[in-house]
């Protein structure tokens, strides 16, 4: 499923930057629309796979959690 693949790409991007990444930078890096990145980050935050300091100006910082790392490991990523 593309949605799961894109969500995994978002989590992988977070794993690669343990200090966190701004949503605007992530959208540019992944080549995904900003709203898609935010939708995936909201899902990840809802399920404690990542923390996300959502801001209206789209500069919020997202950081992967231990649970998110475990999720990627279980996915074989």
Domain that holds residue 43: 2-74
Q: Are 34 and 24 in contact (CB under 8 A)?
A: yes
Q: Is the pLDDT of residue 1 over 70?
A: no
Q: What percent of the chain has pLDDT over 90?
A: 77
Q: Is the pLDDT of residue 6 over 50?
A: yes
Q: Is the pLDDT of residue 55 over 90?
A: no
Q: Are 62 and 14 in contact (CB under 8 A)?
A: yes
Number of domains in the chain: 1
The pTM score is 0.88
Q: Are 5 and 13 in contact (CB under 8 A)?
A: no
Contacts of 33 (CB under 8 A, 6+ apart): 27
Model confidence band, residue 3 (pLDDT cutoffs 50, 70, 90): low
User: The domain spanning residue 51 has which CATH number?
Assistant: 1.10.10.10
Per mean pLDDT, which range of 28-32, 56-60, 68-72 is the poorest? 56-60
Q: d(Cα 34, Cα 72) in Å, to the nearest integer? A: 22
Q: Are 48 and 65 in contact (CB under 8 A)?
A: yes
The position carrying tokens 């709203």 is 35
């Amino acid at each position: 499923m593309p949605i799961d693949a894109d969500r995994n790409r978002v989590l992988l991007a977070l794993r690669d930057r343990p200090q966190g990444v701004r949503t605007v930078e992530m959208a540019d890096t992944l080549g995904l629309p900003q709203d898609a990145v935010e939708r995936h980050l909201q899902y990840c935050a809802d399920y404690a796979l990542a923390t996300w300091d959502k801001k209206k100006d789209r500069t919020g910082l997202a950081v992967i959690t231990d649970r998110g790392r475990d999720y990627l490991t279980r996915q074989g990523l």
